[in-house]
Structure 1
Amino acid sequence: MFDATAEQPGGARMADNDPAADHLGVDVDAVQSLAAFARACARLRAGRSYAKLSLPAATLSDLLNAKGTPTRDTLIKFLIACGLNDATAQAPWLAAWERVATAHLPRPDGAVRVRDARPRLLGVHAAIQVEDAEGELPPYVPRDLDADLRTAVTAATASGGLVLMVGGSSVGKTRALFEAVRAALPEWWLLHPADIPAIGAHAAAPTPRTVLWLDELQRYLNHPAGLTLGVLHRLITAGTVIVATLWPDEYSRRTARPAAGQPDPHAEDRETLRLAHVVRVPDRFTTAERRRGEILANTDRRLRIALDTTDAGFTQVLAAGPALIQRWETAEHCYGQAVITAALDARRVGAQHPVTREYLTAAAPAYLTPTQQATAPPDWLEQALTYATTPVHGATGCLTPAPAGMGSIAGYTTADYLHQHSQRAHRTTTLPDSAWHALTTHHHPDDTLGLADSAYRRGQPTHAFTFYGRADADNERAAYRLADLLAEQGRLQELHARADAGNEPAADRLAYLLAKQGRVEDALQLLRTRADSGNEHAAYRLADLLAEQGRLQELHARADAGNEPAADRLAYLLAKQGRVEELRAGADAGSEHAANWLAYLLAEQGPVEDALQLLRTRADSGNEHAAYRLADLLAEQGRLEELRARADADANNEHAADRLAYLLAKQGRVEELRARADAGNEDAAQQLAYLLAKQGRVEELRTRADAGNEDAAYQLADRLAKQGSVGDALQLLRTRADAGNEDAAYLLADLLAEEGRLDELRARADADNEHAADRLADLLTRQGRVEDALQLLRTRADAGNENAARSLVWLLASGECIDELRDEVAAGTSGAAQALHGLLHYQPRDALLPLT
């Protein structure tokens, strides 16, 4: 944790019209103890009698003699009696009172008071420097979002909470957040953790009245350990106010739901971000904000310059963002431009840590012409780094040196604003091969896996192979990816060599590849050797392959020897062949696998009563799988009484409760479902909503929806739409979606698409509704407006939306758009390389070897 040490005291002074302010010299901002507070109050009293102070004598004696901390109301009455009537004049006294009243509370390690924190150390961008400018930062121009932001911060003090600012680089989100926290919680402790372990350490022993500052939240979410939901819950439960900032593309990719059947790498991030009160920060000032800026510009010329620059946003100009782009893109110094581009490209493809001098030396020539390379002066790199690191308008440079101790440079980081611009403007630009080579040799070890995955997605298997090979030898994911690449390229000899050396992923992929090529005996022999040596994964793969090949005898032998995977596959194979008696014999001998498949087979072929009895016996002995299957079978057979008895007898039997609700709905038993739903049973509530909709009971659905039942709201909207009352259904969903209900937002977008409501879908998509944008693209495609759909997806992909990029790949592949698919490969879009490979080699994409 870094030390956010104060340079100047915060807080307001006494009002200029207060008589005490003129001659008493009460420095209330310096008060830190009860004794000092009592002395300050005594000086403020200025000889007024107890009678004039309008407070009980005992109360005044305690206040003025430090016998106890007064209540807030007592202090306010005292201040008013002393002539401090307005909130501005009272503010520093109330802040001092709060410091004294909370001085006994523990201080987190490395924390400072919010009022003492330095904004630059918390991530606020440096401002452009002009002649006569005073201080690191210009005056804060109040934003339209301040009221919502400060209300959210204040509300979080009641029982903890997460307040998240979402906006691009240099739009003023960190400054607005700093000003809000300083205004609302000046006397709280502020903690700025360096990494996830630091957050975990604080969460293990959280302190009261603490603000946790997580600027650039993606740094914590991207940490290998991740910012878990459990840690956040502990902090919020302890009353911690967590404040954070995040870029829009990071927010959208972590909150978007994946398409059906796609992996969901951000499931926990999505749940984490759902805890947040989100405040979105627009890229540009509103008219009202500019008007406020005009007033303040008279006192600070930096504000005047930002207001007078019309081709860029106010906050971006203050942080020198547009000037950074100009310095990079229109550089007269070709070597400086090459170094900046090499650093930006490295970050674009996954290098999160500072790039080293060695990397820049090796990579920069790729961005120069042959003539520029041949005529480079001996000190070309020194000149380039000087150009790249020179602060623009005194604010920041395109590159910033990262320290490796006093007087030593570890590497160089790129300006965030420049990085975001590069991501958009050069998203589909192919990284030069020599830059990839430089990265394979000169990168931070923590970036290895990210760069490996990036190289793979960008169609660079050779470089991906090198990165995976340099990953931690104990990293299982890297080992499997390495084996995947060898298998994809059919490099059997290398797989053999790695497998013989004891590399399990290589052996696993080799067995898969051998079986796929029809060399089943070789695959079986390889798996037998590994399984017999105790490898559990190989034992499962062997059992699967034996079952696929119908090798009943070997499965029997392995199952009899106690091999669990073989016993499971044997039972499956016997069931598939309908061999009831052999399954029964296995079940009687105590085989769980045989019993499971016997129950399944009896339920399918009969007699059902035998299946039920078998399942009852096993369920009653505590077998959870049997309990689940029994509930399913009882529901299938309509055995309501037994199902009800089992659900009511065991509150933990959730599957029985679920199947009971399903059966009650199937049989139309509204009253019982209603009673169970009203008693808090969620399964019953869900099935009741379905049944009410089926029976057309719209009013009861509406009543339940108005009471907050999401299932009822969904069914009501669906019913209204099917009845032709589409307008009512849309209005219901709009109301809930606009109130922040995510499920309603999804349903609304679906219904708008079904109804062909392009304008509203487009409006909601423009307001950052991801699902609306997805449905809009689908609708345009269905209407034959493929180019419009492609343009929509391109725009969203260029803005950093991963889901849009994946949808773009699917649409491009469907239209066999080879050149644009190559662009998406260069951009590293997931699935683009596989799609392009499939088109170029006339193979379906699902025929490619999947990655683990």
Structure 2
Amino acid sequence: MVFAEQPPNSSHSLDPTTVHTLPELAAAFDELRGIRSYTELIKAAQKLPPREGRRPALSKATLNSLVSKAESVPGPDTVITFLTVCGVHGPDQDPWLAAWERVRTRHLRRPADARRVRETDPRLLGVHASIQVEPDADDLPPYVPRDFDAELRTAITAAAGTGGMVLLSGGSSVGKTRALFETARAVLPEWWLLHPADAAGVRAFAQAPAPRTVIWLDELQRYLDQPGGLPAGLMRDLLAAGVVVLATLWPDEVTIRSAPRVSGEDDSHAEDREILKLSRIIDVPGVFSTEERRRAGQLVGDRRIQIALEHADPGVTQVLAAGPELIRRWRHGPARDCYGQAVITAALDARRVGAQEPLTVAYLTAAAPAYLTPAQRATAAPDWFAKAISYATMPVQGAASCLIPVPAEMGRIAGFLTADYLHQTARTIRRTAALPDQVWQALITHHHPQDRRRLTDNAERRGQLEHTITLYRRSAGDGDTLAAAQLAHLLVEQGRVEDLRQRAHDGDEYAATRLATFLTEQDRTEQLRQWTDDEMAVDLLVEQGQIEEAITLLRQRVGAGDTSASLRLAGLLAAHGRVEELRQRADAGDVFAAMRLADLLVDRGRLEELRQRADAGDHNAAIRLADLLVDRGREEELRQRADASDGLAAIRLADLLVEHGREEELRQRIDAGDTFATGRLADLLAAQDREDELRKLADTGDVPAAGRLARWLAEHGREEELRQRSDAGDVSAAVQLVDLLSGQNRIDDLEGEVRAGTFNAAARLAQIRRLA
């Protein structure tokens, strides 16, 4: 294939990483073109083989736009074709394509605290420092291509298309974070990379996700275990917005968090399981394959890789991260360094049982002696702890240290974290080792609040009941309602009724509920009444089927003047068909008993008794009787009762006539003096906008009709007529006028009504001013 002759150094002397704008890109392309003419470039493009079924092509207009006008960003095929005919091939095209990508996405919003993937320091993303064997060597050795790189590249490329999550699963220091970074830098160099400090940072970004953003979640479990965690729905929204999430997770964490729920147990990993289902999970082996070792052996320029290849037992990446040396320093150091080893063990054990936040000096000082012999404790020098911390934090081979200081501010340490590789190894070595009681005490006294839930769960699983109860008490004291409920349950299981009673007495509702349930189940009703709130006691007695005891307790409360107990007692008597006691209480003036008795008589179809009680003046019976007569179509009896001055029957009869459109009969009842019928006729006329008839009815002096007319005028904005009727002494019109003016905030007009002496105007004006 023949291309136009390449001018010397035309592509090699240019630096596309300096290109950020469209004019800069056009100028760089023009310089790359050199002395080639448009005609030469077009002919060279015509000789290129087809790509994805299309033959590359260039035109004079395209080339002019590409290297001169800089009016629009060219397409990717045009750029690749141009680079090829200018003699730039294969990997040499990558920085040019990155420059094009940078220009093409320049207008997109940059997330706060984000950097371009290519500009990000891998050490800040969690890539372990390497052992140092030569002075002035780089932090990291050259990257050794891994067998899974192609699969990883494909997964990240696919995620970039529509949004997706890619997760590398592997042990500590097996190279998963380095591989993830190198692939992301190759595939998405110009994307923004956001490395949230915590789960709250992820949730904040999800409120307004920016396009073309990579969210970096190294050691995913740290985000999942934080308060609030990462809801699966939030992660779905992020992926739907086109975001790429890159994460790492240890294999045992994947297993635990993806396991199906065990029936009858809390599903603490429900959200985690859904997130893992959204992820493309790629496993990273713990050791290099034969082919990977061969590729590593070709990197002869870095002594560190050669040293790592000489170790047959640990993996190459682990040696590079000084993992085996960390273990030797922890477990096989000189006897004089027993204090440093004890501090390291205290830190590892704390993390093993859930302490993820930095461990304080106070904790380490209190816990480390538990791992020393009596003789070692007795002969410790005054500065034993300072020397122990120095030993634990000293970098091994210029790379990692057993404990990692975490800064609080300049010159001050907040605490210490353990090296991941060491932690993962310790979880296996010390899996069955019990924590000394002194260490649990130190954790309880000096733990970070965010670790408390994990520490509590671990203490309970390990049978440390006293420590579990202490931790639950602290959480409940901080307002954790779940901890309060779990504490109450645990105290019942342990039969610690007095502790439960004291918590109930101090206002813990969960303790009170559990105490009441326990006492009821034990048939200790007298203690239940003494130790719990009466209403709660009633609830629990009913729940346990001890109805007689509940009724007795309610009778006592009613006798003491408790009105709410009257309502509850009436309901309980009705629910259990205690008609006679209901009747006695109703006859003695208990309105709640009268209400429930009337309901019960209706439910049982005892119409005659209901009628007798209504005739005897029982208002509740009269209401239910009128409703029952309507429901059963007993209109004649309803009319008879209305004619006999039963006001409730008259109201229901008027309602019935309106409902069936029997206006003439309604008017006949009005003529006969039925005032309830007048009000319902006024409502009917207003609903049908029969203004003249409504006004005529109101002008007869009928108060309900006047009130309905006033409301109708207000609803239709008839302010002037309202004012006229108000001036004529119509109180209903005055009220509606004042409501209309105040609703429109017409202060001046309201003041005028006050001066005119309009009813209620002064009170409404004062109310408006008070609210203002």
Normalising by structure 1, report the TM-score. 0.62
Q: 1:395 aligns with which of 372, 393, 399?
A: 399
Return the offset for 1:431.
Answer: 0.8
Q: 1:144 aligns with which of 132, 144, 147?
A: 147
Return the offset for 1:523.
Answer: 2.4
Q: Give the direction of change, closer, same or farther, for the CA distance of 1:268–1:541 in structure 2 (3 Å limit).
A: farther
Q: Does 2:256 match 1:275?
A: no
- Residue 480 of structure 2 is matched in structure 1 by 475
- Residue 358 of structure 2 is matched in structure 1 by 354
Counterparts of 1:706-721 in structure 2 under 5 Å?
none
Q: Give the direction of change, closer, same or farther, for the CA distance of 1:191–1:379 in structure 2 (3 Å limit).
A: same
Deviations 1:648-683 (A, max 9, x none): xxxxxxxxxxxxxxxxxxxxxxxxxxxxxxxxxxxx
Question: Structure 1 stretches of 5 or more lacking a match?
Answer: 1-16, 532-537, 574-581, 591-852
- Residue 58 of structure 1 is matched in structure 2 by 61
Q: Give the direction of change, closer, same or farther, for the CA distance of 1:587–1:452 in structure 2 (3 Å limit).
A: farther
Between the aligned partners of 1:97 and 1:568, the Cα distance in structure 2 is 82
Between the aligned partners of 1:159 and 1:555, the Cα distance in structure 2 is 66
Letter aligned with residue 291 of structure 1: R
Letter aligned with residue 323 of structure 2: G
Between the aligned partners of 1:353 and 1:565, the Cα distance in structure 2 is 56
Between the aligned partners of 2:467 and 2:352, the Cα distance in structure 1 is 16
Between the aligned partners of 2:85 and 2:425, the Cα distance in structure 1 is 58
Between the aligned partners of 1:256 and 1:270, the Cα distance in structure 2 is 7
Letter aligned with residue 523 of structure 1: L
Identity of aligned residues (%): 53
Q: 2:197 aligns with which of 188, 194, 197?
A: 194
Q: Give the direction of change, closer, same or farther, for the CA distance of 1:350–1:584 in structure 2 (3 Å limit).
A: farther
Between the aligned partners of 2:577 and 2:332, the Cα distance in structure 1 is 68
**Which moves more between the two structures, 167-176 or 512-521?**
512-521
Matched-pair contact (CA < 8 Å) for 2:167–2:248: yes
Instruction: Say which one has the larger Rg.
Output: 2
SS state at 2:434 partner = coil
Counterparts of 1:112-511 in structure 2 under 5 Å?
112-132=115-135, 134-296=137-299, 298-332=300-334, 333-471=337-475, 472-511=477-516
Matched-pair contact (CA < 8 Å) for 2:554–2:565: yes
Q: Give the direction of change, closer, same or farther, for the CA distance of 1:295–1:511 in structure 2 (3 Å limit).
A: same
SS state at 2:282 partner = strand
- Residue 37 of structure 2 is matched in structure 1 by 49
Between the aligned partners of 1:284 and 1:563, the Cα distance in structure 2 is 72
Q: Give the direction of change, closer, same or farther, for the CA distance of 1:586–1:311 in structure 2 (3 Å limit).
A: farther
Letter aligned with residue 140 of structure 2: L
Between the aligned partners of 2:270 and 2:493, the Cα distance in structure 1 is 29
Q: Give the direction of change, closer, same or farther, for the CA distance of 1:262–1:448 in structure 2 (3 Å limit).
A: closer
Between the aligned partners of 1:188 and 1:168, the Cα distance in structure 2 is 28
- Residue 833 of structure 1 is matched in structure 2 by none
Between the aligned partners of 2:64 and 2:484, the Cα distance in structure 1 is 75
RMSD: 3.1
Between the aligned partners of 1:588 and 1:343, the Cα distance in structure 2 is 73
Between the aligned partners of 2:294 and 2:397, the Cα distance in structure 1 is 24
Q: Give the direction of change, closer, same or farther, for the CA distance of 1:586–1:197 in structure 2 (3 Å limit).
A: farther
- Residue 69 of structure 1 is matched in structure 2 by 73
Return the offset for 1:258.
Answer: 3.0
Matched-pair contact (CA < 8 Å) for 1:524–1:542: no
Q: Does 2:84 match 1:80?
A: yes
Q: Give the direction of change, closer, same or farther, for the CA distance of 1:70–1:309 in structure 2 (3 Å limit).
A: same
Bigger relative contact order, structure 1 or 2 (CA pairs below 8 A, ≥6 apart): 1
Deviations 1:249-299 (A, max 9, x none): 111111111333333221221112111111011111111111111111x01
Q: Does 2:22 match 1:34?
A: yes
Return the offset for 1:53.
Answer: 2.1
- Residue 656 of structure 1 is matched in structure 2 by none
Return the offset for 1:156.
Answer: 0.8
SS state at 2:405 partner = strand
Matched-pair contact (CA < 8 Å) for 2:223–2:229: yes
Return the offset for 1:543.
Answer: 3.2
Matched-pair contact (CA < 8 Å) for 2:7–2:35: no
Matched-pair contact (CA < 8 Å) for 1:163–1:276: yes
Question: Structure 2 stretches of 5 or more lacking a match?
Answer: 43-57, 559-563, 579-595, 605-772
- Residue 518 of structure 2 is matched in structure 1 by 513
SS state at 1:273 partner = helix
Q: Give the direction of change, closer, same or farther, for the CA distance of 1:376–1:587 in structure 2 (3 Å limit).
A: farther
Matched-pair contact (CA < 8 Å) for 2:520–2:540: no
Return the offset for 1:234.
Answer: 0.9
Matched-pair contact (CA < 8 Å) for 2:370–2:439: yes
Q: Give the direction of change, closer, same or farther, for the CA distance of 1:393–1:568 in structure 2 (3 Å limit).
A: farther
SS state at 2:138 partner = coil
Q: Give the direction of change, closer, same or farther, for the CA distance of 1:286–1:506 in structure 2 (3 Å limit).
A: same
Letter aligned with residue 305 of structure 2: L
Letter aligned with residue 191 of structure 2: W
Matched-pair contact (CA < 8 Å) for 1:496–1:510: yes
Between the aligned partners of 2:569 and 2:404, the Cα distance in structure 1 is 58
SS state at 1:98 partner = helix
Return the offset for 1:568.
Answer: 13
Between the aligned partners of 1:94 and 1:503, the Cα distance in structure 2 is 65
- Residue 591 of structure 2 is matched in structure 1 by none
SS state at 2:245 partner = strand
Between the aligned partners of 2:376 and 2:33, the Cα distance in structure 1 is 77
Q: Give the direction of change, closer, same or farther, for the CA distance of 1:261–1:499 in structure 2 (3 Å limit).
A: closer
Q: Give the direction of change, closer, same or farther, for the CA distance of 1:458–1:22 in structure 2 (3 Å limit).
A: same
- Residue 544 of structure 1 is matched in structure 2 by 543
Matched-pair contact (CA < 8 Å) for 2:7–2:34: no
Number of residue pairs matched by the alignment: 559
Between the aligned partners of 1:414 and 1:176, the Cα distance in structure 2 is 23
Letter aligned with residue 493 of structure 1: E
Deviations 1:65-109 (A, max 9, x none): 22221222222222222222x222222111111110111111111
Between the aligned partners of 1:572 and 1:430, the Cα distance in structure 2 is 60
Matched-pair contact (CA < 8 Å) for 1:527–1:542: no
Deviations 1:223-270 (A, max 9, x none): 120110111111011001111111111111111113333332212211
Letter aligned with residue 42 of structure 1: D
Matched-pair contact (CA < 8 Å) for 2:354–2:451: yes
Deviations 1:393-450 (A, max 9, x none): 1111100101101111011111111111111111111111111111121111222232
Between the aligned partners of 1:586 and 1:135, the Cα distance in structure 2 is 89
Matched-pair contact (CA < 8 Å) for 1:133–1:302: no
Q: Give the direction of change, closer, same or farther, for the CA distance of 1:300–1:132 in structure 2 (3 Å limit).
A: farther
Deviations 1:483-516 (A, max 9, x none): 3343334333332222122121221222233234
Deviations 1:508-547 (A, max 9, x none): 222233234331343256555253xxxxxx77544312x2
Letter aligned with residue 29 of structure 1: T
